């Protein structure tokens, strides 16, 4: 039970904006490092390939962040609805301890 909770929290953190940014930055850094090491073998290699890869990753990240933002808006709407329902719900009357009958 606890391991499932930890796993789900880790997955949520990975899919959160900071996790997505870190993952994308790591992928871009890895591509730049491989490009740099490839320059020794082929100095005429095109930087355009790396830039296309980096911008594709950034575009993918932006799409994921927009989806995340949409999910946050849906959750905010749900919370606002629940808050309104709680305000409308009848509240039970609580007697003060002084007015309660003794057993």
Q: How far apart are the first and last CA of the chain?
A: 43
54-73 confidence digits (pLDDT tens): 788 888 888 888 888 888 88
Residue 59: its pLDDT value, please?
85
Q: Is 101 left (phi over 0), alpha (psi -120 to 50) or beta?
A: beta
Tokens 């959160």 found at: 16
CA distances from 4 to 1, 9, 10, 16 (A): 5, 9, 10, 18
The residue extents of the domains of the chain are 8-73
Q: What are phi and psi of 95, to 5 degrees?
A: -85, 145
Residue 2: its pLDDT value, please?
59
Give the predicted TM-score (pTM) of the model: 0.55
21-61 confidence digits (pLDDT tens): 777 777 777 777 777 777 677 766 677 777 787 788 888 88
């Amino acid at each position: 039970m606890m391991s499932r909770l930890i796993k789900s929290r880790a997955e949520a953190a990975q899919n959160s904006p900071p996790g997505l940014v870190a993952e994308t930055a790591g992928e871009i850094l890895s591509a730049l490092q491989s490009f740099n090491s490839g320059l020794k073998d082929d100095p005429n290699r095109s930087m355009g390939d790396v830039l296309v890869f980096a911008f594709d990753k950034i575009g993918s990240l932006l799409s994921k962040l927009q989806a995340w933002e949409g999910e946050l808006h849906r959750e905010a709407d749900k919370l606002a609805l629940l808050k309104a329902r709680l305000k409308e719900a009848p509240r039970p009357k609580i007697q003060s301890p002084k007015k309660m009958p003794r057993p």
